[in-house]
Amino acid sequence: MGAHPLGAQPPGGALPPGALPPGTQPPGALPPGTQPPGALPPGTLPPGAQPPGAQPPGAPEQSPATPDGTAPDSTAPGSTASGRAASPRRSRRRRTALIAAGAILASLLTTAAQSYDGYLFYEMKTDSRKDTRHTIVAAGQAGQAHNIEYKATITKTEAPAGSKLREGVTWLKIVITKKLLNESSATMTGIPSEFKLTDTKGRTWAVEAQAVGDPPQDDKLELGKEYRIEGLAIVPSPVANEVELSFRPSTYRSDTPTEDLFDREAMEKAEKDDVVLVFRRR
C-alpha cells in the first residue's frame, strides 16, 4: 500500500534526485541581465569592424547615385572623370602652364620683331652700297673719305709663331693710319670694313685687321692724331708684290643711339658708307 508507482511524484512536493528547487540557478550560471566576461555592450562594434554602409580604407570613393538611380555625369562642370571636384592644386598647375605659355609667345614675338628690324637695317645698308664709289689712291699717297685721311702700306712678313708652314705662299703685313681732318667727323670712331687684297686678275684674299694702340678718348677722334690699324694676309707668292689693298671706311658715329641702328627713318638720314678706297702698289 505504501509504495509509489514508477515515475510518480512523492507526496508533499518532494523533488527528484538532482533537481533544483524553483528559482534556484545552476552552479556557474549568471544572474539574469548580466553579460558574460569580455562581451561588448549592445551597439558597440568589435575593434577594426566597419560601421554598416562604410567603405573599407583605401577603397575607391563611390559616386552618390542620383534620385533616378543613375550615376552623376562625370563631365559636368567642376567634376573630374571620377565625379570629384577638380583640386585647387591641379587648377594652379593649369594657371602656371598658361602663364608660361604666354611668356614664351611674347618672347617669340619680340624676337621676331627684332629680327625683322634687323633685316630692315641690313636691307638699308645693302641698298646704300649699291651706289658705291671706288676712290683710287696713288702709290704712297693718302686717301680721304668722310673728312678722315687714310694711309696704307703692305710689306712681307714672317709667318706668326705657331702657324702651319705652307709652301708657295707669302705672309703680308698691312698697316693703316687714320687721321681726323675736320671736327665734324670726330665721333666716327669705327674702323673700316671689307678689307681685302686683289690681284690683276681680280682674285681676292681676305685681310684680318684690327685697331692697335690707344683707343680714342671719350669716343672721339683727336684732330690731327693718327690712329693705327694692323692686319695680316696670306697670298700666293707670285702675286705678293702686285696685290692691292681696298677697304670701306666706316661712317658709324659713337654717339648714335642703339635704337637708331634699327630705325629705318634714322638710318636713311645717316651718312652713307658708300666709299671704297683702293691703294695702288705702283
Q: Is the pLDDT at 152 greater than 90, yes or no?
A: yes
| Residue 61 located in a structural domain | no
Query: Based on the domain organization, do 138 and 176 belong to the same domain?
Result: yes
Residues 112 and 140 in one domain: no
Q: Are residues 195 and 215 in the same domain?
A: yes
pLDDT for 180-194, tens place per residue? 999 999 999 999 999
State the pLDDT at residue 95.
Answer: 73
HSE-CB at 273 with a 13 A cutoff on CA atoms is: 18
pLDDT score recorded for residue 80: 47
Beta strand pairing call for 226-236 and 208-212:
antiparallel
Split at pLDDT 50, 70, 90, the class of 282 is confident
- Encode pLDDT of 93-150 as tens digits: 777 777 777 767 666 655 554 544 444 444 445 555 678 999 999 999 999 999 999 9
**pLDDT for residue 216:** 92
Whether 60 is in a domain gets the answer: no
What range does the domain containing 255 cover?
Answer: 134-279
Average pLDDT for residues 191-206, to the nearest whole number? 96
Of the two residues 26 and 90, the one the predictor is more confident about is 90
- What mean pLDDT is reported for the chain? 77
Rounded average pLDDT over 196-202: 97
Claim to verify: residue 104 and residue 124 sit in the same structural domain:
yes
**Do 188 and 251 belong to one domain?**
yes
Question: In this model, does residue 77 exceed pLDDT 90?
Answer: no
Do 106 and 236 sit in the same domain of this protein?
Answer: no
Number of domains in the chain: 2
Confidence of residue 81 (pLDDT cuts 50, 70, 90): very low
Same domain? For 141 and 189 the reply is yes
* Same-domain status, 125 and 255: no
Predicted pLDDT at 39: 60
In a domain, 141, yes or no: yes
More confident: 85 or 94 = 94
Same domain, 244 and 141: yes
